[in-house]
Structure 1
């Protein structure tokens, strides 16, 4: 009788395990935004999930507010975001309905930059060279978070500068022209960006800590995803893409590749790593 009960118990455990496994999603919905850092990480993870047998749907959202609302509702399962700073407010608003899954990259940085041939090294030295650059910091789109951080830096460092808004394209044109002429310029930049590799610039030190420290990118999900989809979670958690490699992909895109072509070029060059990821995720 005792042996029979043990057999029944084991059989029930196997049965419930089978039900649990069957309940896991076979289609994973990934949300993304059309930005040069987020999209490559999303596509690489999509490809790994597909390699592991999942069907993956990729949905692009126009802004973080819509993306976080969709994730919190469960319209998508996963999304990459930098919740420690850039999207901290959205995370705070929605975190009770969300969960962190894993870190997918690290090293996002933003700041005020000058060409590397200029002598200054810190933001608090900017007033000394204001006349050389017309007391202007060349900015990008007015609504960008980096513009707000730079405006805060002007206040906190008592900089005698005007922050000039415009567009990323216009800023790039001015930076490239200045570097070609070895002329002084003060502007802003971020990594990962193709510009970070193309232009030899120096991020100015920030002793007051106005700009955030290098940030991590997290896969985040609707709460309960990891528990309900343990194998998919292990697949996603095995992915880590160094920020320099994301930057290199963006250089390829700027040189004329589509984002899919740039990711495929990276994928083909990293087959051994991808095979290790597949083993780590259980297949």
Structure 2
């Protein structure tokens, strides 16, 4: 091969390489263009949702899983306690957690709100505004009507308040309550199922027991209970339940954030939902049944599925 032909061959190879490189660049630009146009990847359609082992939380999280997955999202649950939830939301990286459905204010979760309000989005709107928290005893304990009565009957209760998960806002408030009322009691942490099991066993045997509890809760439908009067109002009066999310969630999932801000439930709706979820073999089955029967209410929050699809 002469020098001239060799030179032409080399130039041809270089030209092919340049064209190939340009073609790859165009491919990347197309991918970036598609991404920036709003077409979300499967990861971007995934919502990581906190779940707490409380009856109303299990019901609400499964309800939203059904609603969101019907509209093309994937919802992953993360079973955590309140302290871990707030820390995960504070990280604001979307890798661990996007949203939690249950923050009780103004009292129960006040400590978490004060600590994280600058780094976590707390919705101003509420989805339930008639919540109540306090110490509860079986109704057959006729002489125990107030927290102040616990001093007199300390021996009956063995100086013990049966609690649930440590770190929960209500557990922190209960620790404050013990100090404010000067009670010589121990708050014994466990789990919500264990606490409810101990409550049921005590009632079956007509024994004394005192636990921190809240409404809405299916326990009040299944057991004859009463709240103890709280003269110092340590537990507050009416509590309201908000959702909270990591900063940036509202921009990345604007329609979901809008739907959750529209979300409102009353005693009838949350009570029926909890009942369906509790009776079903799997919570998601009970939630699906409730969602199917309450489309008019759900459409008030999120619009019809046709409206949701057309907005994407």
TM-score (norm 2): 0.67
Match of 1:112 in 2: 135
Match of 2:66 in 1: 47
1:174 to partner: Cα distance = 4.0
Matches within 5 A, 1:106-255: 106-119=129-142, 120-131=144-155, 133-141=156-164, 143-145=166-168, 146-164=170-188, 168-227=192-251, 229-242=253-266, 245-255=269-279
1:147 to partner: Cα distance = 4.1
Cα 1:258–1:160 change in 2 (3 A) is: same
Asked if 2 retains the 8 angstrom alpha-carbon contact of 1:194 and 1:248, the reply is: no
Match of 2:117, SS?
helix
Pick aligned residue for 1:73 from 80, 85, 93: 93
Cα deviations across residues 217-273 of structure 1 (Å, max 9, x unaligned)? 323233344356543332232222335644554444544532102212221221221
Larger Rg: 2
Match of 2:12 in 1: none
Give the whole-Å Cα distance in 2 for the aligned partners of 1:234 and 1:176: 40
Asked if 1 retains the 8 angstrom alpha-carbon contact of 2:147 and 2:230, the reply is: yes
Pick aligned residue for 1:57 from 69, 75, 79: 75
Cα 1:137–1:147 change in 2 (3 A) is: farther
Once superposed, what is the RMSD of the aligned Cα atoms? 3.5
Structure 2 unpaired stretches of 5+: 1-33
Give the whole-Å Cα distance in 2 for the aligned partners of 1:272 and 1:78: 25
Cα 1:27–1:153 change in 2 (3 A) is: same
TM-score (norm 1): 0.73
Give the whole-Å Cα distance in 2 for the aligned partners of 1:29 and 1:108: 27
Asked if 1 retains the 8 angstrom alpha-carbon contact of 2:108 and 2:173, the reply is: no
1:203 to partner: Cα distance = 0.7
Cα 1:188–1:226 change in 2 (3 A) is: closer
1:60 to partner: Cα distance = 0.9
Cα 1:263–1:199 change in 2 (3 A) is: same
